[in-house]
Amino acid sequence: MTAASATPAPSRPASDKWRYVAGFMAFAVLSGIAFFGTMSVLVPQRLRADLGMGAVESTAALGAINSAGSIASIFIALFVGALSDRTRSRWGKRTPWIFTGAFIYGICFWSLSRPSSALLIAIFYILALVGLNMVQAPIYALISDRVEESSRATVSAAIGGGGVIGQGIGTLIGSRFMENVEIGFICTGLCALAAGVLAVILAPKEPSSKDLPKDTSKPMWRIILESLTPPLKDCGDFYRAFICRTCLIVAYQMIFSYQLYILTDHIHDTDAQAANAMAIISVLTMVASLVASLISGPIADALHRRKAPIAVACAVFALGLAMPWIFRPRWACSSSAASPPSATACTCPSTRR
């Protein structure tokens, strides 16, 4: 978002805070269900079972799909953010984007059940990410636009906690539909649609932006270019945090994007056994992440140190990731599921200070 959009929010009734918490947490939970149910379970299963790909082909295809989506999301988010800053309508700057994006998000996630090739799945996935960013970027902007500064931490925590809950529930739901992915895609598509719609309904109504002056100080291409330009002066802390978080996320996704294939190809589970294992893993992931999120901040504050907790968390992370490599039994994958999310959560309070 541009600097112009990050204006102090005027005083509002206390009930507005909890409406934002409810609306944005509903978005985070439902979007997490849709995204992780689809990309951690249903799409990998569809590549393998429905499209008849072998182990090598399906693994490579899933990696290409995720990579294309990640690269596209960088530009989509910046473009949507710049456009929503300049939107003038009776429904406000953000609401039209959230509402429209919800339908694109939901329809495209359901449409992932239709293509007959990995290329078409990748195209529909990128279109779904357009919808997701049309919802997500304006919601994050609304926190600075409309939520009082004293309530922003609570609202942000609701989004973070909701995302953790959604990830666990999404993987659990996806694993229940491995034998019938068509129904699974319908469920995740409906969750994606409901994520944006409920955010609009539950959160306080955004005021009209129709009469706001238009920001013509910079062309859109320049705003996007400046957003993509990395800092170059007095930015050592930024790059240290950036490298740390990037390595953590890459390692995390290397496991959780492929956990179905790890269970079937490495542990040699059947589809039914893999579904049951993923159900257990999803619960462990959710519990470990929530506990770590609650205790990591107070621990870092009590120690008055940031680097030591990060080092310990990364060591726990590495140990958890190594479990399926060292040990083949299914309990090793369960340990791997519990350790990385909790370690990731522990690094967040430290890297944000």
Considering only residues 207 and 42, tell me which one the structure prediction assigns the higher pLDDT. 42
- Pick the range with the lowest mean pLDDT from 2-11, 122-131, 146-155, 254-263: 2-11
Of 117-131, 226-240, 291-305, highest mean pLDDT: 117-131
Residues 42-62: tens digit of each pLDDT: 999 999 888 888 888 999 999
Q: What are the Cα distances from residue 340, in Å, to 229, 335, 344?
A: 31, 9, 6
Model confidence band, residue 30 (pLDDT cutoffs 50, 70, 90): very high
b/e map 237-270, b = 16+ CB within 10 Å = eeeebeebeeebeebbeebbbbbbbbbbbebebe
- Does residue 191 register a pLDDT over 90? yes
Residues 81-97: tens digit of each pLDDT: 778 777 788 888 888 89
Which tokens in the block code for residue 272?
Answer: 């039914």
Sign of CA dihedral 257, 258, 264, 269: negative
Considering only residues 141 and 7, tell me which one the structure prediction assigns the higher pLDDT. 141
Residues 114-147: tens digit of each pLDDT: 888 899 999 999 999 999 999 998 898 888 877 8
Average pLDDT, the chain: 79
Q: What is the pLDDT of residue 197?
A: 94
Q: What is the mean pLDDT of residues 100-123?
A: 92
Q: What is the pLDDT of residue 351?
A: 44
Considering only residues 301 and 255, tell me which one the structure prediction assigns the higher pLDDT. 255
- Does residue 157 register a pLDDT over 90? no
- Does residue 4 register a pLDDT over 90? no
| 7 neighbors 244 (Cβ within 8 angstroms) | no
Q: What is the pLDDT of residue 119?
A: 92
What is the percentage of the chain residues whose pLDDT exceeds 90? 24
Considering only residues 214 and 273, tell me which one the structure prediction assigns the higher pLDDT. 273
Q: What is the pLDDT of residue 12?
A: 59
Report the C-alpha gap between 114 and 121 in whole angstroms: 8
Q: What is the pLDDT of residue 353?
A: 45
Q: What are the Cα distances from residue 241, in Å, to 248, 303, 345?
A: 11, 19, 14
Considering only residues 156 and 336, tell me which one the structure prediction assigns the higher pLDDT. 156
b/e map 94-115, b = 16+ CB within 10 Å = bbbbbbebbbbbbbbbbbbbeb
Model confidence band, residue 222 (pLDDT cutoffs 50, 70, 90): confident
Q: How crowded is the C-beta side of 209, counted as CA atoms within 13 Å?
A: 20
- Does residue 23 register a pLDDT over 50? yes
Q: Which residue has the tokens 């170059």?
A: 232
State the burial class of residue 210 (Cβ atoms within 10 Å of its Cβ: 0-12, 13-18, 19+): exposed
Q: What is the pLDDT of residue 188?
A: 94
